[in-house]
Structure 1
Amino acid sequence: MKNKQANQILRAWDLAEKISGGELDKKAKWFSGDIRKTAYQKRESGTINEKISQNNQSSDQHVTISLLYLGAYKKQDLRDSIQNIRFRDTEMVQNRDPAKGYSVALIVNSDWSFQKIEVPYAAYFYLKLRQENIEEAMHGQQYDDFKSQLSQQLEEVIDRKRADLAECLALANQIVLKTFKLAGTRNVGQLRGLFQIQDEPPMLNSFYTEDIERVLQASADDSLLLKYLGLNPDVATKQEVDQNRDFISKLLDVENLPDGRWPGPEKYFQSLMQQVAVNVIRDKGPIKTDLKTVNGPPGTGKTTLLQDVFADTIVQQAKVMAQLEKPMDGFRRIKPIELFSNCKYNAYELIPALQGYGIVVTSNNNSAVANISKEFPSRNKIRQYPNENREKQDEYRTQLEEIDYFSDLANRILETADSWGMFAVPMVSKANQRKVFKHINHGVLKKQLSVYSDSWADARQNFNTALEAVHQEKARLHRMISIVERANPSVVDQAYLELKVVDEGIEVLNQEIANLTQKIENTRHRLVTLPKKRFLIFWQHETPTHDSLRFHISNLNKKIEGLNERVADRRKERRHVVHLIAQQEKIIREVEPIQKQLKKEGIVVFNDDFWRQTNEKRQQALPNNSRVLQNKRARLFIAAMRLRKVFICEARVPISNAWEFFAHQDKLVFDEDTLALTAGFQIMQLLIPVMSTTLASVGRMFANFGENTIDNVYIDESGQATPASAVGIAWRAKHLVAIGDPAQIEPVVTTNEATLRTIARDFKVSEQYLLPTTSVQQLADQGSIYGMHRSNHTWVGIPLWVHRRCDSPMFEIANEISYENKMVQGKPTKLSQVERSRWINSKGKATNQQFVPENVTALARIMKKRRDEGKSLDQMFVISPFRAVVNGITNKLPKEFNDGAISKKWLQEHVGTVHRFQGKEADVVFLIIGTDQDTDGGADWAFSKPNLLNVAVTRARHDFYLIGDYHRLKSKPYAEVAARELPLLDN
């Protein structure tokens, strides 16, 4: 990139990511003795030459490698040492990183000959810091030479003709330990490795460094990436959306309501700010931008919002399809490509009008990716009526099942029997992609796309009819709303007040005229009676007083003329006001039946009455919408899916060929075949509209994709993701939407803050780019045009306020500690519900870091009680801020129950740190604080920010229990709110 500041930021991130890598793969296994026995089990020991002839006789004939980790160490121990010595930082780490690092990854071929080594930069970085060579640690100018020299040493050792390979490996490990000054490390004689790797090799450094370095080498700046980095010159053009009457009223005009909608219950509208977010994402706002962000607290409908966004995206592309005489008119042939010997496939691209509608959803949260992939195709997400109306026939679901959008393929890929169609598919790891390609290959597609009974003409007619129905309903609403908006009773009231003022003014003027007229009469009488001056004996003539009186009368007449003109003006004004009153009263009389109709249909209008409501009522309403329109919009999406299926089936050759190109990228020649791949991916997304992957997988999944090659990217749970993790996907995206909540779990960053600040200073960038608390969401917010200022003047994206998950008091706790009491409770209150949420006062002596055994005893007692009352254990989560407490619960809780109810599987799924449960929910949640007086620093850390408590409390739909020492913890920040809201129960 050309932008110097962007380069510095990216280089700083590159280093920060490199030093966070170098972790042992979790699948790595310990071995000792002859490694070949570990790898190949029943093979006998022997010389290396004897083994070479025997190795890798596997039936699949895949080329395999083995990878051995040398110079292993505990990453936290090494970081602590550097933190204490180099940075004089003695702050205790409350949740110690359990990860194991390695100094060298030794990669050997299937015959156990040396192939190469990889030295994670993290190991080199920490070595140079321990040697107090900060300049080299930061910039690694000698890194390549260091790696080359070490590679030569190890190659000589491994390729010696030794009888015992284990001896070679032990010697190699000793060289590495000495080189990296790890001689005192525990488990020196034990090694770990991965054997006969046939999948993609493990990521040896950070998941993100290759993409960052690729972007650094790009010849041109990417405008979207610059916005994400906060370097966009247009960033000053901010549009405040929260409580902005003029903006919201115009944005949510009925004509701006997206034509397509997800087929959910028609009675459930989006909330006010949900629809604002939907419309902005769908480019209905006054300012067009390719970077948008949404800030959604827990339970505010972020997934529901995305459903409508995706549905309308499908509808908009279907509008283009419906204009084509035949589906193949939507493609342009690029060229034939020989993928296999004597086997060529024609490459195609979509015509420009059909491009730009693909969707990729990504996150650093695996469960978030899984939820998108599983929820959107699920039949349970298609509902015309709420759950309480199950006896009614669900036409939405019935129609989609009749269309059968390749539900059989979806069920096989997702390993379920619940799919209505192949709307979303996970494309995470190479193994996962292979699974998809196994079920969606050339032969399968040829068969699947050949079986359909619909015709293109019928599908087009059906879609156009559904589209016209939406437009007609919009026009009906627009007419009624326009009339109602014109009929404004407040205008009449104001006019009557004006009329009163005018009449009073006329009366005052008339009185002034009368007074002046009287003065004239009096003056004239005086003039007549005034004696004249005699001249000689016969003549009399007037005195100067006569002249003065006549002049006075003239002036009074002029004043009366002026007052009469003012009276005339006032009477003219009065006639205008009277006409306005009559006109408005006529409109009001005419609009009465329309208002009754609107009220009958539950349609809300943007008028003064709406904006005079309380914020709670405003936020839960969606003006300019109707249940009829909801229904027609949902049916339009269904019609679009029908049209889409016929389009795909009649264009089976471009579709199946595109999948072949993506599945066999290794057969393509780059850069010559880049267009065939990227254009093919757009064609692939006709078949699967939504593809999901993790941020960590982006670099590999889209390794051959360059700048601006992915249409629409949505980063879910972006408040958890480190800023550097989104560089690759932002660079490839044409449009980017970040959705998350910085008030929940912060990104997991294991590098200590002092090191990150040092990197920021060295590269001369703001610390905000490197601080552990900075997330993708926060950074994207700063580059986003649409949003709001919080009370601390921080700019955030479009806020969502209506919360529909938690009962009281969980809602009140979260709202106060994290959301400035701006959230609105949208969940109906059940008066019969018993409030069971409590603070369980439980204390004792911590036995292992923060773990207090008495807390588990109290936990078990309440869990048993709730189980006896009929609450399933599967509807309970047990959460703690500390790994040590989670480990203690895992060991002790089964013994407390002593009836087999707490299985290993249950513990894995229902007990964990707060981070594990981000994005999940349960009926009952227990938060175990642990700690005692001696480990109170851990409690201070847990309550130093509202994030952990906020996430824990918002996992609970109905009941929340906080278990810990009430008297010690109640006064800590944010815990004091929980202490106030939760009734106390002594254990």
Structure 2
Amino acid sequence: MTNPAAGPLPILSFWRDLEIFNIPAAPGAREATASSHVLTLRRGEVLPWRRREYAPSATHGWIHLVYLGVADTEQLEGLLLKAMAPRGEAAELSERERERSGGTGWLGAFVVGEDGAAKPDSYLAASYVYGVDLLRKDEALEGLSARLAGAREEFAQRRQRPPAVEGGPSGGVLGAVDTDAAVDRAPIAPTGRPAAATGAEARAAKPRGLGWVELDEELGLLLRRIGAGADDARLDWRLVVRSTRVNRKYMEADLQNAGDFLNSFYLDDLDRLIGQAQRGEPFGQALGAYLGAPLALAARRDILADQAAMTGLLSVAHLPRARWPAPAKFPLVLAQQAAVAQILRVLGPAGGVVGVNGPPGTGKTTLLCDVIADVVTQRALRLMELQRPADVFADTVEVAGKNVFPLRAEIMDGSSIVVASTNNNAVKNITQELPARKKVSAEFGPASYFDEVIGAVFAAQKVQGEDGATIACWGMVAAALGNAGNRRSFAQGFFRDEFSKPEAHAANAANATNPAKAATGGANGQLFDTPATPAAQSTQTPPFSQSASSTLSAPATPSTRSTPSAPAAAAAESAKPAPPSMKQLLEAATADYARYQNEWQQARHALRALVEEFDAKRALLLKAEQAALGLDACRGRLAAQLAGLQEWDRQIEAAKVELAASREAMAVQRTLIDGRRALLEQLRERARPGLWDRLMAWLGRETAAMAARRSSLDEPTTALAQASEALAELARAAMSCEAVAQTKRQRREADAAEKQKTEAQFRQHQLDLQAGYQIGVRHFPDAGFWALPAEQRHRLSVGVCAALDTLRAKIFLQSMELHRLTVLANAGRFIGNLRAVSAMLTGASRGKLLPEQRPILWDILFFIVPVVSTTMASFDRLFQGMGQESLGWLLVDEAGQATPQSTAGAIWRSRRAVLIGDPLQIEPVFTVPLAVAEDLRRRRGVAAIWSPAEQSVQTLADRVTAFGSWVAQDDGPGLEPRRIWTGMPLRTHRRCDEPMFSVANRIAYGGQMVQGRVDPQGQGEAVDFRCVLGASAWFDVRAAKAQHPVVDEEIDVLVELLRRLQDQPAHVAGERGADGKPRAVKIYVISPFRKVKDACARRVRAAGIKGVECGTVHTFQGKEAEIVFLVLGTAAGKAGAGARAWALEKPNLLNVAITRAKCRLYMVGCAESWGRLNHMAVLYDEMARLRRVLPAGPFADNPAKR
């Protein structure tokens, strides 16, 4: 039984359990660098610490990170699944699990020093190995840490034993015997040459270097923990070694840090959060919301359907003072404006979580830039209120034994910004884009914010553009600090104490290009087990670079290097003057103290003037907005008032008619009364009594004549009385009618006066609105705006104009200038501060720096470098010691790809979290078998909404985001569309031409996206793209046979198409490179299946075709190319049906694949097998409608007969 509202503890425990069973990745060939080699070995091959090219020298040594029991992740997942499956129950990975499981994993890892001896305390067993052991014994996973610590102690004890003599019969898990491993070698002195030792002394001095016997023993121990099935699986076990060349002065520190292996990047953070939950301590606003209950349906506002909600978000009152200095002609459009306003309005004051839904090409980075600009500007406004630059500091404190000047808390006030993602491309894009000069429009004048320093940082981190050229930068606004290498290289470029000497640069460059020379000091250095001559190679195990069964991912050795002049070229490049670091700039600034004090005051006043100008204009625009909305109300009121007055006129006229009729009736009645009165008088005169009658009356008697005469008067008397009463009634009615008419006349006069007021308001609103128009704004969220077609609205901006956006961009740039001058005006203090920051980043202050001191140093860095980027995997280590809500802003990109648990620690450290992604693109990838994940979830009694099998960081953020949108999800023919709630929706797409845009819009977004690239008539405007293959097409390949999922005929067609493109390169008309020739376009080859991708890559390389990237769909999320080939693969019929069903179960994979293509999409695959399947049918039908389903082979514009 699961409880969705069970609280954070079981959720966090479930996530921790999942991470225990995560299969850690082994390094691969792509991770090799000039100074860090990655070797893949099988038993019997020479270990790196026994190779001459890895011998230590006087200046450098080598550290070897050993990954034991390396196998394909898919195989390890299968092994894990079988180990945990109930006895007798079949356990096979699904198609989804097989396709997601790329790369390799390991069972254990440790560090080997340059002497070949293992570092005893560096050992780490993969947590899933012991997790399986615990669950099999029905023990709690909470005991894992103790088990892993015990395994490390046992390893240390084993490694104190003398190494075994190798060379006996094989029988180990790893396979063949290592005949080279038993060869004795002389101990190596720090000079790199053999030490002088003979006899017993020499034997005693021999290092206890690890050999294959010990490695085989360690692997066997790990396999026994998994269970008997591990041995039976007979996997292709390998050993992977990352060998890193280290400057000897850093050797001790790097050796201490080298064993920083991680089973999971998130285990430590999750353990920390579990401990806090167990203690009953509340989490911060952001993590509390993230782990909390979803918003009720009634609390959700669909801003695409609710005009009032959208209007409130778009109010000029929420318009930030600053914006990123992008060209003013490209403002944020409707949904982007709403998202920025909601982020700053909701998170700015109180903190929390906001989810943003960003489909492909809808401007997520653009949105983030404006958020960053506002955060930095808000801090600058606080600086502006200071009286002198030194007021930015609080009292001096001691940090790691040094005096540091901390920044005042009220100045920083949660303004640190961290951009993070599980996607390396997303992090790289942010870090390289923000500092690039092309990111700042020249229309705002020259922009410069420590541009020399970012040049030095990029040089140190070897950051280059896609064409390999140096990136021209404008400012030190972002830094990539995720891994230790990035931190060290950043510190070297950002704050180095001395300019490097050209000679040292040249020597380092030469050594980097020739590791063998660097290691031995020359060609005559000590030779190790690796053969040195071709003759020797014929009888001994060949070196890795020539071994058929091993892989060496490193620069070529001297024997294979084809460019002997490379060291000289590197030396010449290194001899160029290095850009100044912050330290040099600050030292120079100390000599100009008075100048910078004065310039700081000027910058402060200049910023105030810009802000006051903006505030005045915003006040006018707010009045104009209120006027636009007021005009709508006035128009309604005027129409109602006019109708009211007309109704009063009608009623008054009716009253007049009624009164006239009453008066006419009264006149008639008076005439009648007069007649009856005259008649009565006549009758009375006739009835006057005679003398007798009077005498009888005197006697009290009435004569008969008298009675008759009296009786004759009754009727006329009554008639007269009735007529008189009728007249009185008519008089009362006339009086009432007159009173009513008078009331109506008075009310009409009052309503007429109100109408005059409304007309006066209307005229004033027109004047106020005209004032807004005079500023340049053309649209406000009024009735006229909402009457526009939805597609047109989403391409427009409200409440802004080029002039206003120019002012806002200048405010941001002036804010950066005020920051720059604050630093230079306090140069002396910042030198000491940044020295402490540098020590923290490089690890030089390890052991001295207290956790509570780290926020002080991070604030100093964030003050100068507003944005730090990192992958989620590095977050915990980067911000170690940083506690709950110690960071201001967390901006997570590609949140739809991230598992829910991956950001928990990052959100915990952050006051505000903006989680941007798309649940309709690539879903999270994790290496725990789904059946195992489900079993762990049930053990903790946690609802499925917390499982990475069902959810992502994005979906968890969306569920607690009040303003968003419902997206109709079509699951296929005959099925009711599902409604998916997303966070703040971005909907204006600017990447893809047709048919990619329309197909993605239909299969994934319910038609909600709008095309942002249109002509003046609002029609889609395609890029003028010249391609020999013609328009986008489906090349229909009918193959009789396939090595599932690879279809050779499809790859034949792909290669032929690529050759045509190589012979006649495609290009965008008018776009030219630096050489004046048409700019080369990007070409991607994508497949849903790893095996198909691998086959494509091999064939493309074999064909000698350059400039083509091959990968799975997952590889390319966040990237784009002019041309995309989607190679479908799979065997025909039932053999490939399961794979096709997996690929099209949801629209996500197809959506991502086709939206990588900006200009052309070429499908390569069997239309009969794929064309009628869920989601793909939309694409096939569109290609058929365009007559672009073409038979394989000759594919001039002749559509297939279908």
TM-score by length of 1: 0.88
Where in structure 2 are the equivalents of 1:301-316 lying within 5 Å? 301-316=363-378
Letter of the structure 1 residue corresponding to residue 404 of structure 2 = N
Structure 1 residues 504 and 928, CA, compared in 2 at 3 Å: closer, same or farther? farther
Q: What is aligned with 1:985?
A: 1190
Aligned partners of 1:124 and 1:143 also within 8 Å: no
User: Which one-letter code corresponds to 2:839 in the other structure?
Assistant: H
Would you say the 8 A contact 2:404–2:836 is kept in 1? no
Letter in 2 for 1:978: L
Shift of 1:762: 0.8
The change in CA–CA distance for 1:737 and 1:590 in structure 2 (over 3 A counts) is closer
In structure 1, how many angstroms separate the alpha carbons of the residues matched to 2:607 and 2:751? 51
Supply the AA of the counterpart residue of 1:695: M
Structure-to-structure mapping, 1:264-343, within 5 angstroms? 264-283=326-345, 288-339=350-401
User: Identity of paired residues, percent?
Assistant: 25
Post-superposition CA distance 1:733-785 (Å, at most 9, x none): 01111111111110112322222222111101111111423110111122233
SS at match of 1:95: helix
- 1:783-806: per-residue Cα shift (whole Å, max 9, x none)? 233333445554321111111222
Cα distance change of structure 1 residues 61 and 985 upon mapping to structure 2, 3 Å threshold? closer
Write the deviation string for residues 34-92 of structure 1: whole angstroms up to 9, x where unpaired. Answer: 88852241399xxxxxxxxxx96763579x56535148673133145458766656544
Instruction: Indicate the SS of the match to 2:356.
Output: strand
Separation of aligned partners in 1, 2:726 and 2:459? 106
Is 1:214 matched with 2:276? no
Equivalence map 1:380-779=2 (5 Å): 380-383=438-441, 394-396=442-444, 398-401=445-448, 404=451, 406-413=453-460, 414-415=463-464, 416-441=470-495, 443=497, 444-451=581-588, 454=596, 455-487=599-631, 488-530=634-676, 536=706, 540=713, 543-583=717-757, 601-665=776-840, 673-779=850-956
1:348 alignment partner, SS class? coil
Give the C-alpha shift of residue 972 in structure 1.
1.0
Q: Report the 3-state secondary structure (helix = DSSP H, G, I; strand = E; otherwise coil) of the residue aligned with 2:354.
A: strand
Q: Secondary structure at the match of 1:332?
A: coil
1:125 counterpart letter in structure 2: G
Separation of aligned partners in 1, 2:452 and 2:820: 6
Between the aligned partners of 2:318 and 2:738, the Cα distance in structure 1 is 53
- The 2-side partners of 1:272 and 1:296 are apart by 14
Give 2:1112's aligned residue.
Answer: 913
Matched letter for residue 870 of structure 1: A
Task: After TM superposition, give the deviation of residue 147 of structure 1 in Å.
Answer: 6.8
Q: Against the structure 1 CA distance between its residues 642 and 591, is the aligned structure 2 distance closer, same or farther, given a 3 Å change threshold?
A: same
Q: Contact (CA 8 Å) 1:261, 1:312: kept in 2 or not?
A: yes
Q: Partners in 2 of 1:119 and 1:371 — Cα distance? A: 35
Partner secondary structure for residue 780 of structure 2: coil
Q: Distance in 1 between matches of 2:627 and 2:760?
A: 12
For residues 57-68 of structure 1, what are the structure 2 equivalents within 5 Å? 59-60=59-60, 64=63, 66-68=65-67
Give the 3-state SS of the residue equivalent to 2:52 in structure 1.
coil
- Cα gap change, 1:56 to 1:763, in 2 (>3 Å): farther
The residue that corresponds to 1:940 in the other structure is 1141
Q: CA deviation at 1:947?
A: 0.4
Shift in alpha-carbon separation, 1:412–1:350, aligned structure 2, 3 A: farther
Q: Residue 230 of structure 1 contacts residue 782 of structure 1 at CA under 8 Å; is this kept in 2?
A: no
Counterpart Cα distance in 1 of 2:263 and 2:385? 49
Output the amino acid matched with 2:797. L
Counting matched residue pairs gives 947
Change (3 A) 1:192 1:412: closer
After superposition, residues 777-856 of structure 1 pair within 5 angstroms as 777-791=954-968, 792=978, 794-828=980-1014, 829-830=1020-1021, 836-845=1031-1040, 847-856=1042-1051
Q: Which moved more, 1:547-556 or 1:934-943?
A: 547-556
Give RMSD over aligned pairs: 3.4
Q: 1:780 to 1:554 in 2, by over 3 A?
A: same
Between stretches 65-74 and 116-125, larger displacement belongs to 65-74
What's the offset of the Cα at 1:975? Answer: 0.9
1:879/1:886 contact within 8 Å kept:
yes
Contact 1:845 1:852 in 2 (8 A): no
Q: Corresponding residue for 2:430?
A: 372
Amino acid at match of 1:171: E
SS at match of 2:1094: helix
Does the residue aligned with 1:242 lie in a helix, a strand or coil? coil
- Once the two structures are overlaid, the 10-residue window that deviates more, 688-697 or 255-264, is 255-264
Contact map agreement 2:1055 2:1099 (CA 8 A) in 1: no
Worse overlay, 975-984 or 535-544 = 535-544
Mapped partners of 2:966, 2:349: distance in 1: 18
Matches of 2:495 and 2:382 in 1, distance apart?
27
Q: Deviations over 1:539-566 (max 9, x none)?
A: 7466555444444444444444443333
- Alignment CA distance shift 1:659-1:88 (3 Å): farther
Distance 1:799 1:96, change over 3 A: closer
Following TM superposition, by how much is the alpha carbon of 1:15 offset from its aligned partner in structure 2, in angstroms? Answer: 0.7
Give the aligned residue type for 1:859: L
**CA separation of 1:34 and 1:656: change in aligned 2, threshold 3 A:** farther
> Is the contact between residue 915 and residue 954 of structure 2 (CA under 8 Å) also seen in structure 1?
yes
1:877 matched to 2:923? The reply is no
- Between the aligned partners of 1:353 and 1:258, the Cα distance in structure 2 is 19
Q: Trace 1:222-233 onto structure 2 (pairs within 5 A).
A: 222-223=283-284, 224-231=286-293
TM-score, normalised via structure 2 length: 0.73
CA offsets, 1:457-510, max 9 Å, x none?
222122222222222322343444455554444544443333333322333333
Question: Does 1:353 find its partner at 2:401?
Answer: no
The offset of 1:930, in angstroms, is: 1.4
Q: Which residue identity does 2:157 align to in structure 1? A: E
How far did residue 6 of structure 1 move? 0.5
Contact 1:655 1:687 in 2 (8 A): no
Aligned to 1:39: 49
5+ unaligned residues in a row in structure 2: which ranges? 30-37, 167-209, 245-253, 465-469, 498-580, 590-594, 688-705, 969-977, 1015-1019, 1068-1078, 1193-1202
CA contact (8 A) 2:71 2:237 kept: no
Deviation at 1:725, TM superposition (A): 0.3
CA distance in 2, matches of 1:100, 1:633: 49
CA distance in structure 1 between the aligned counterparts of 2:23 and 2:647, rounded to whole angstroms = 78
- Mark the CA change 1:979 to 1:450 in structure 2 (over 3 Å): closer, same or farther: same
More displaced stretch, 843-852 vs 431-440: 843-852
What code does the residue aligned with 2:989 have?
Answer: H
Would you say the 8 A contact 1:442–1:657 is kept in 2? Answer: no
Return closer, same or farther for 1:402/1:975 CA change in 2, 3 Å cut-off: closer
> Which position in structure 2 is the counterpart of 1:893?
1100
Structure 1 unaligned residues grouped into runs of 5+:
45-54, 384-393
The CA deviation string for residues 874-917 of structure 1, in whole angstroms up to 9 with x for no partner, is: 4222111111111121122355xx4x3x13xx34xx21111111
